[in-house]
């Protein structure tokens, strides 16, 4: 029973983290690096670590905001075994009816449909000139 409760708690935290990465990380990235279609793993990790984001599930943020090639190269370099498509599948099942090819337009549509408001204050250390 305790394992089931722990799993439900963990699933809820994962969903919250993914939601933050989907709907609040891009504005934070944009404030530092400008509005882009994709960002580098280093940019994403810097904003996660210096902003108000949970680093625990950061691989999901990388799968959302990096290309698959950049994601794979980064994970090979750091020695992590993560599957880009498995992570995107999890995100897709939660927010995009299973569409693993979701893009920025899909994210904005879901954000609007769900009535997600921008964070009042997302403090991110750094600026584009420091990056």
The tens digit of pLDDT for each residue in 93-115 reads 999 999 999 999 999 999 999 88
* 33 inside domain: yes
Predicted local distance difference test score (pLDDT) of residue 45 = 97
Q: What is the pTM of this model?
A: 0.84
pLDDT > 60? residue 87 = yes
Total domain count, the chain: 1
The tens digit of pLDDT for each residue in 15-49 reads 999 999 999 999 999 999 999 999 999 999 999 99
Instruction: Give the integer Cα–Cα distance in Å for 115 and 33.
Output: 26
Conformation bin of residue 115: beta by default, left when phi > 0, alpha when psi is -120 to 50: left
* 122 inside domain: no
* 64 inside domain: yes
* 90 inside domain: yes
* 43 inside domain: yes
Provide the CB-side half-sphere exposure for 7 (13 A, CA): 4
* 124 inside domain: no
* 123 inside domain: no
| Structural domain boundaries, residue 83 | 12-113
């Amino acid at each position: 029973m305790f394992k089931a409760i722990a799993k439900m708690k963990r699933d809820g935290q994962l969903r919250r983290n993914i939601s933050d990465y989907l709907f609040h990380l891009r504005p934070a990235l944009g404030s530092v690096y400008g509005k882009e279609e994709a960002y580098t793993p280093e940019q994403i990790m810097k904003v996660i670590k210096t902003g108000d984001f949970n680093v625990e599930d950061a691989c999901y943020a990388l799968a959302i905001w990096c290309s698959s090639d950049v994601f794979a190269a980064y994970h090979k370099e750091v020695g992590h075994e993560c599957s880009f498509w498995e992570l995107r599948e999890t995100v897709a099942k939660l927010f995009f009816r299973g569409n693993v090819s979701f893009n920025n337009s899909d994210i904005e549509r879901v954000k609007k449909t769900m009535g997600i408001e921008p964070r009042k204050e997302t403090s991110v250390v750094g600026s584009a000139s420091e990056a």
